[in-house]
A = this chain, B = another copy of it.
Amino acid sequence: MPNVTRATKPAPGLPPCLPPFLPFTDRPERGGAAIPGRPSRHLRGSEIYAEGSAIRQLYRVVSGAVRVCRMLPDGRRFIAQFALPGEVFGLDGVEEHRFSAEAVTEAVLIAFARRDLEACLDREPLAAQSWQAYTLEKLAAAQDRFILLGCRSATERVAHFLLDLAARARPGREGLALPMSRYDMADYLGLTAETVSRTLTLLRKAGMIAIEDNHRLHLLDTGRLMQAAEPGRAAA
């Protein structure tokens, strides 16, 4: 918890990306209804919380990226979620974290006490409704991901992932940032790093994407990419 005041408002007017109406704030002076947040900075690869620890806070990503993951008994790793700037993570269980969270890149977060959130939900019917919709949306998204993991080919998974990242990306530098490694992508998509790499090469050779470097690429043909992501669905 070093001084990161500079980082507490790097994006002027933090869009309340998710959840939409929840009065999270990093400026405690804004009013009694707001949930006060505490900024923190995490080095690349460092653990933010451990699997099995009590859930005491939620986090909103200010900058960088976070992976929410679990090590399986056989040594494999599974990534449940990537949290990008503006997004919230940390509620991966009821009482205890069922996953751990790690910084994919150096990351600046704002932490909100869980009890503050719960108090707010009890106090503010509108916030409660918004939270309700948020969790419902997350559940619906989870079911879509079941389909992705359950019966999609490698190409479909990777294409879907790229489009999802693009949809979630903040308007910023030209091109699509891939903060995570091929291994991270693989563990998120239920593939291997080799397959992810091969698939990206395939999409590149097919002219759908251009790879600037290992952590940045460009979507050249979103229509065909969408076709690759969901065969049978019409291109945009």
Contacts and interface: CB of A to CB of B under 8 A. Distances in A.
Interface residues of A, number: 40
Residue among A93, A99, A135, A139 facing the most chain B CB atoms (10 A cut-off): A139
B146 A80 contact: yes
Contacts of A128: 121, 128
A173 interface: no
A78 to B, nearest CB: 5
Interface string A94-107: 10001100000000
Interface in A63-98: 70, 72-74, 76, 78, 80, 91-94, 98
Contacts of A43: none
B146 A145 contact: yes
Contacts of A147: 70, 72, 78
Given A147-B70, A151-B190, A94 B140 contact: yes
Contacts of A92: 139-140, 143
Interface string A121-146: 11001001000110111111011111
Contacts of A73: 230-233
A146 to B, nearest CB: 6
Contacts of A140: 92-94, 98
Q: Is the interface of A mostly helix, strand, loop or mixed?
A: helix
Contacts of A137: 94
A2 interface: no
Contact of A149 (B149, B230, B231, B233): B149
20 contacts: A73-B231, A76-B151, A78-B147, A78-B150, A80-B143, A91-B136, A91-B139, A93-B140, A94-B136, A94-B137, A98-B144, A121-B128, A128-B128, A135-B135, A135-B136, A138-B139, A139-B139, A142-B146, A150-B190, A151-B190
